[in-house]
Homo-oligomer: A and B are copies of this chain.
Amino acid sequence: MAKRNLVQALNLALRQEMERDDRVIVLGEDVGRDGGVFRVTEGLIERFGEERVVDTPLAESAIVGASIGMAVAGLRPVCEIQFDGFTYYAMHQIESHAARLRWRSQGRHEVPLVVRAPYGGGVRALEHHSESREALWAHLPGLKTVIPSGPRNARALLVSAIRDPDPVMFFEPKALYRAFREEVPEAEETLPLGRSRVAREGTDLTLVAYGAMLRPTLEAAEELKRSRGAEAEVIDLLTISPLDDTLLVASARKTGRVAVVHEAPRSFGPGAEIVARLVEKAFYHLEAPVARVTGYDVIIPLFSRERYYLPDVPRIVQAAQRLLEAP
């Protein structure tokens, strides 16, 4: 097995799916000759040619809208939006068509489309390049929103997303692109969409995270173990929506104390749904209010102050401590 970073793992998924299925085509701004601004599509144009790896004009609505057409006509487009901050340009296409065409045609047409976009902070980027707005997409019926947390699951989830008959928003934690490597086998791996995983087992409290927040959350769990001998269970959502709450609920019933961690602003953010699900399904097991350790309800600042905005190990540990100390 080869060690790969997130970029390489995603590249592997794209390459192998393109080899396996000539309906898969990749399109977007700078995805061809440039290999993508983060190099996720590097080498694909050399291997698959300009017909399958398409550098498009600068127009996000067209990239997504045309991809919808391709998907309806039998292809499996994987389109890249350069940053999640530019996905809004295509929101009408996604809300009104990608997520609805199956429904609008009573099952006659389907839209096996993947929209990839890097999301989140932590790379000292320009304005509009560090947002975390997955909640917007998570609320839309008919759409899947997937966020991997490391190279291996990213590769497996991207393969599943490409094969999925329904549209998937696939947000890649850009802070992790080159942050670390994992064994990612050459041999095919998939992971079912719509399933969370237990990233760390524990009995004293539950920490829920996803994407780039998983690592500080796991570190916080270790810190809690060191500092107070508390064993945190960590749930990695992987799919934000449709949210599978089975593991969450089971864990909350076991520990009674839960914190959810995300970069997105707190209000009306993904954490709210998790709190609501736990209230609906594990209320009588909760021993303390579910805590939200999140971005604040502000625009993520330019990079010199970015670290104050992003949840980090100390903030997670503080919240966990309060949870553990709750009566």
Contact = CB atoms under 8 A, between A and B. Distances in A.
Among the interface residues A139, A271, A273, A298, which one has the most CB atoms of the partner chain B within 10 A?
Answer: A139
A59 to B, nearest CB: 12
A222 to B, nearest CB: 26
Contacts of A272: 268, 272-273, 275-276
A138 B279 contact: no
Contacts of A95: 88, 133
A181 B181 CA distance: 65
Interface residues of A, number: 47
Interface string A260-273: 00001101111111
Chain copies in complex: 2
A286 B138 CA distance: 28
B289 A279 contact: yes
Nearest to A283: B289
A296 to B, nearest CB: 8
Interface stretch (A47-55, A96-104, A170-178): A96-104
A243 B267 contact: yes
A297 interface: yes
Contacts of A276: 271-272, 275-276, 290, 292
Contacts of A89: 91-92
Interface string A25-65: 00000000000000000000000000000000000000000
Contacts of A313: none
A197 B85 CA distance: 35
A241 interface: yes
B100 A299 contact: yes
Taking each of A85, A128, A136, A243, which has the highest tally of chain B beta carbons within 10 Å of its own beta carbon? A136
Contact of A267 (B85, B86, B139, B290): B139
A288 interface: yes
A133 B133 CA distance: 15
A275 B279 contact: yes
Contacts of A201: none
Nearest to A284: B289
23 contacts: A86-B92, A88-B95, A91-B91, A99-B299, A103-B299, A104-B127, A138-B267, A139-B264, A139-B265, A139-B269, A141-B265, A141-B299, A241-B268, A242-B297, A243-B268, A268-B268, A268-B273, A272-B272, A272-B275, A272-B276, A280-B289, A280-B291, A283-B289
6 nearest interchain CB pairs?
A: A272-B272, A283-B289, A88-B92, A139-B268, A275-B276, A88-B91
Interface of A: 85-86, 88-89, 91-92, 95-96, 99-100, 103-104, 127-128, 133, 135-136, 138-139, 141-142, 241-243, 264-265, 267-273, 275-276, 279-280, 283, 286, 288-292, 297-299
Given A103-B298, A279-B279, 15 more contacts: A88-B96, A89-B91, A91-B91, A91-B92, A96-B128, A135-B135, A141-B265, A142-B299, A242-B267, A243-B268, A268-B268, A268-B270, A268-B272, A276-B276, A276-B290
